[in-house]
Amino acid sequence: MPSGSLASEFGDTAITSVDGGRGVLAYRGYRIEDVVHHLGYESVVGLLLDDGPSDAARIVAELRDRRASPTELESVLDALPSETSIIDGYRTAVSAMNDVAQVSPPTRLQGMSLIARSPPIVARLYRRSAGKPPVEPDPRLGHVANFLWMVEGEPPPAERSRALERYFVLLADHGISASTFALRIVLSTRSDLASAVAAALGALKGPLHGGAPPEVLEMLDAVGSESEVEDWIDSALARKERLFGFGHPTYRVEDPRAALLRAFAKEVAAPARYALARRFEEVALARLAARYPDAPRRTNVDFYGAVLLEAVGLPRALFTPTFALARTAGWTAHALEQVSQDRLVRPPERYVGPPLRPWGPTG
């Protein structure tokens, strides 16, 4: 590893490119539209970590062999207060992963352990909150189908597993997002992977990042029917309330993931629910365009992501943790890239306080 050097900022990455002006997202140079239609999640893990399409069977085996959580980690989860949220319990569990914490710099093996163990942890936390016993991983199932199995305790239908896997693929990485930025800053200090992922989870849980999908469904619930959409949106905007699922700090055109999720959600959502979402989107886009003509606010990944997650049967308490599970692949890839660069990240600040002045009373 090269010796560390100070760097005020960073922006170089070979993992994911995000072109907000043209609406292009690519993993390792492959457009997301091609990736989601040709690769399963395990293959995407290999693509992000290994810089090219990997043998899916090898990645499946690597993840399957690392799914089981140590007994002491399960004891930590079971000892958490009953009111602990799933995302906070997951963050605690990451900190307690002895083979991921305390060792620096992070390794690919640590990253694979993180990716593999996270779904069983989140599923266990959910079932504990619901008063249900944990379900052990099924070695016959793939990464995403196994997560649904551990959440529900029964084999998931193929169409639901496929829909959720597409969600995982689309959310696997998105460049230097807020959570990834937090992760890379922590790792730039030569800290460990668990500390960095804990920081990433803290950023992700916020409603302006990974906490938005449940809010989308709350809006749709409040509207109730297609006939009420226009009045509800007009009233919300008059009160200056936020329309969740619209607007993105990067994209000035439609988020390519939103376009894909719109189609995928239609395949699995109840027709009435999808029709309500579609009508809400149409009216919201028209109203937002009229209100903000110079700063268009398009549909983002959260809107139809929420509709899809609901359609595959996940409870809303699992929406943000599921986002995090998908993003563990990207976080691991960025962790490995950051430690290979070995530069301390210190973003520049702009001082806006008073100018230099003498000490003591004035006047």
Annotated active-site positions, please?
A: 248, 302
Q: How far apart are CA 1 and CA 301, in angstroms?
A: 37
* Relative orientation angle of helices 71-78 and 108-129, to the nearest 10 degrees: 40
**Phi, psi of 54, rounded to the nearest 5 degrees:** -100, 165
Q: How far apart are CA 324 and CA 173, in angstroms?
A: 10
> b/e for 82-110, b at 16 or more Cβ within 10 A?
eebebbbbbbbbbbbbebbbeebbbbeeb
Q: Are strands 343-345 and 5-7 parallel, antiparallel or unpaired?
A: parallel
Q: How far apart are CA 125 and CA 88, in angstroms?
A: 10
Torsion of CA 202, 208, 211, 213, to 10 degrees: -160
Burial of 75 (0-12, 13-18, 19+ CB in 10 A): exposed
Q: How far apart are CA 73 and CA 75, in angstroms?
A: 5
Length of the chain: 363
Tokens 């070995």: give the residue: 342
Q: Is the CB of residue 219 less than 8 Å from the CB of residue 280?
A: yes
Among 281, 49, 255, smallest CA distance to 170 is for 255
The helix (run of H) or strand (run of E) holding residue 5 is strand 5-7
Count the helices and strands in the chain (H runs, E runs).
16, 5
Q: Is the CB of residue 178 less than 8 Å from the CB of residue 210?
A: no
Q: How far apart are CA 216 and CA 222, in angstroms?
A: 10
